[in-house]
Amino acid sequence: MAQLDQATVKVLIVGGGGREHALAWRLRHESPNTQLFAAPGNPGIAEIATCIPVSATSVDALVAAAKRDQVDWTLVGPEAALEVGIADAFRAEGLAIFGPTRAAAMLETSKAFAKSVMASAGVPTANAAICSNVVEAETAIRQMGAPVVVKASGLAAGKGVIICHSVDEALAAARAMLEANVFGTAGATVLIEEFMEGEELSVFLLTDGRRVVPLPAAQDHKRLLDGDRGPNTGGMGAYSPVSVVERSPGLIGEIIERIALPTLHEMRLRDTPFTGVLYVGLMLTTNGPKVVEFNCRFGDPETQAVLPALADDAGMAELMFAIARGDQLPTGVDLAPTRCAVTTVLAATGYPERPRGGDLIDIPAIPSDVLVFHAGTRRADDGSLVTSGGRVLAVTGLGDSIDAAQQRSQSFAAAISFADKQFRSDIAWRELSRGARAS
């Protein structure tokens, strides 16, 4: 793989959340001389990058910024930017970019499309009915019974999936999406999907469209409250690595051979080759791993746990740069974890329905075994740091074990102050309950 003097590399990171802060941290951590730009960035990213006041979906302005600052490649964080075709626009201008085209990103932006791809590729996943009106949805729900999952087909900020434990609950969820438009156009089509039993797993795969390089697996926690209770959210925490993977040496290989490679092959057959990072959300069932969903970008908050778990010199930045410029990935690359990471998300009061902004944030001195990634923060007129989104900060603790990493994450999460903050105290509970000490 071609190498470039890292002192000369300029990278534009598109986005301004916790995921993008973690990506910026990773690039700077591996290559301290890399010059980073972020659009729009956030106060945490601003400490290591030059922030540009351009939104992640302002494609023309982002193309202009990349040309003006002569960036070597661009790394796309949020799915919304991919949905509006940022990768297509950059490539049309001869600009290297890490992320799939708008058509390929439909693996995430349309769950109905993803189901079609999986069916054609023979990828194991839950049975589902695709419905565009209430009558179709009600018929599917009554045929499938409960428990059942109702999903908005489009992007719904990680909140468009409702696990329903009764037929009536499922009917109400379908009507809310299809008639009340609770998720807008994202819910114009819904999937009524069988409920799968098992343990969830998140796997990121860097891909050039044919080859893949896996990152350490992670588990996230979607529910707002301890014990996996309360409303669904974009994610309240995550940890990596996961001992069920560490103890099953063939599992990642099975995921690659049965899921990733057939999906990539089918995408090529459809003339929509997928490059970038393929996020595979899985359920580990008694019949093997099955796909819950695909994402076409790094997950949030899993990224804030996975990237710190990697070796300091993992070389992830060069792999992403290779994909961005259209090179083939090398074989035999190992991005295995070298330490444990547990990430606790601090959320604003009112999240996820109506998060309050403007609350003053106080972050004490950060110890060496903790990382704090900004998500929903901004600088007030007087320079103080205040809340500006639902998920405000992600606190990642590092250690030789999940137990140690979790304690550090929780301790520092408690030490950060802003009014009425919300955070879970049981991130990685499943790992701890089985006595795992992955390292």
Domain ranges of the chain: 10-101, 133-188, 199-433
List, for residues 104-147, the tens digit of each pLDDT value.
999 999 999 999 999 999 999 998 899 999 999 989 999 998 89
Position 186 scores a pLDDT of: 84
List, for residues 289-319, the tens digit of each pLDDT value.
999 999 999 999 999 999 999 999 899 999 9
Can you read off the two tokens belonging to residue 22? 């973690």
Position 3 scores a pLDDT of: 47
Position 174 scores a pLDDT of: 92
> Domain 199-433 maps to which CATH number in 3.40.50.880, 3.30.300.30, 1.10.600.10, 3.30.470.20?
3.30.470.20
Query: How many whole angstroms separate alpha carbon 258 and alpha carbon 252?
Result: 10
List, for residues 219-277, the tens digit of each pLDDT value.
999 999 999 999 989 999 999 999 999 889 899 999 999 999 999 999 999 999 999 99
Position 156 scores a pLDDT of: 76
Question: Sign of the C-alpha dihedral, residues 279, 284, 285, 287?
Answer: positive
User: 10-101 architecture in CATH?
Assistant: 3-Layer(aba) Sandwich (3.40)
User: Given a cut of 60, is residue 212 above it in pLDDT?
Assistant: yes
Query: How many whole angstroms separate alpha carbon 65 and alpha carbon 41?
Result: 14
Q: At 53, phi and psi to the nearest 5?
A: -75, 65
Are residues 430 and 391 in contact, defined by beta-carbon separation less than 8 angstroms?
no
Average pLDDT over residues 322-347: 95
Question: What region does 438 belong to: left with phi over 0, alpha with psi -120 to 50, or beta?
Answer: beta
What is the residue whose two structure tokens read 């202009």?
Answer: 64
Least confident of 125-134, 236-245, 342-351, 420-429: 125-134
Q: Helices (H), strands (E): how many in the chain? A: 15, 22
The model's pTM: 0.92
Least confident of 20-24, 41-45, 74-78, 144-148: 144-148
Q: Please, what CATH class does the domain formed by 133-188 belong to? A: alpha beta
What's the mean pLDDT when you consider all of the chain?
A: 94
User: Given a cut of 80, is residue 433 above it in pLDDT?
Assistant: yes
Least confident of 86-90, 158-162, 248-252: 158-162
Strand order through the sheet with 199-207: 212-214, 199-207, 276-285, 288-295
Query: How many whole angstroms separate alpha carbon 384 and alpha carbon 377?
Result: 10
Position 158 scores a pLDDT of: 65
Strand order through the sheet with 161-164: 128-131, 190-194, 148-152, 161-164
- E strand residue ranges, 21-119: 35-40, 50-51, 73-76, 97-98
User: Given a cut of 90, is residue 334 above it in pLDDT?
Assistant: no
Can you read off the two tokens belonging to residue 305? 């746990």
Average pLDDT over residues 50-77: 98
Position 7 scores a pLDDT of: 56
